[in-house]
Amino acid sequence: MILGLATVALATLVGGTLAAQAADTGTDGTSVGEFTVASGKLSLDAVPTLAFKGTDVASLASGTKLAYNSDAVTGSGKTSTGNTLTVSDFRGADNAAWNLTAQLSNFTNGSSTVAGTIDYAGANAVKGTISADGGNVWNNTDAKTGGTSSVSAATDSTTALTLPATATAVSGTYDADITWTLSATASAE
């Protein structure tokens, strides 16, 4: 009888162990959580109005350099917002290259025309020469947008306009167009 109880006890112990092991042999599972990120856009959100100090006919006739006049700056034009330049780039960190150039037309006042050159400077490493040939003024590396932000730069007081001597100098207000072009490529510089 003792041998029979031991066999039943052993069978119960083995059976219990097997049953416990069978319960622990379930399968582990994994699933996936996901989301999609759409690429945003690269945009030129604001360009500055560049106003300069006045001069006289004698100085213009012999050529002169005019200082930036922040007191005369007002927001006018399609995207002009005073003295601020703003670029937004939300295309993603893997597509962050861009370059901003600016080209200056001649300054005109009636029949008087003067070709000028602007030495442009601003916050956040904005810097360049704006002329009839155009020039680089800002890029993603200097602006540090990284494809994931918007950056603004106020025009610096060191910005200046250089005007060559002109034989057609007249009194009055001279205006020129500045064409800003934002390209989704890095500068060749």
Give pLDDT, residue 70. Answer: 85
Give pLDDT, residue 6. Answer: 47
Give pLDDT, residue 82. Answer: 77
Task: State the pTM of this model.
Answer: 0.77
Q: Which CATH number fits domain 42-183: 3.30.70, 2.60.40, 3.30.750, 3.40.50?
A: 2.60.40
Give pLDDT, residue 188. Answer: 52
Rg (CA), the chain: 35
pLDDT in tens, 102-156: 999 999 999 999 999 999 999 999 999 999 999 999 999 999 999 999 999 999 9
∠ CA(23), CA(25), CA(28), 5° rounding? 115
Q: Show me where the domains of the chain are located.
A: 42-183
Average pLDDT over residues 55-63: 96
CB contact burial 53-74 (16+ within 10 A = b; e otherwise): eebeeeebeeebebebebeebe
Give pLDDT, residue 72. Answer: 80
In the chain, the DSSP E strands lie at 42-46, 64-67, 84-89, 99-104, 107-109, 112-114, 117-122, 126-130, 135-139, 149-154, 160-163, 178-183
Percent of the chain with pLDDT over 90: 71
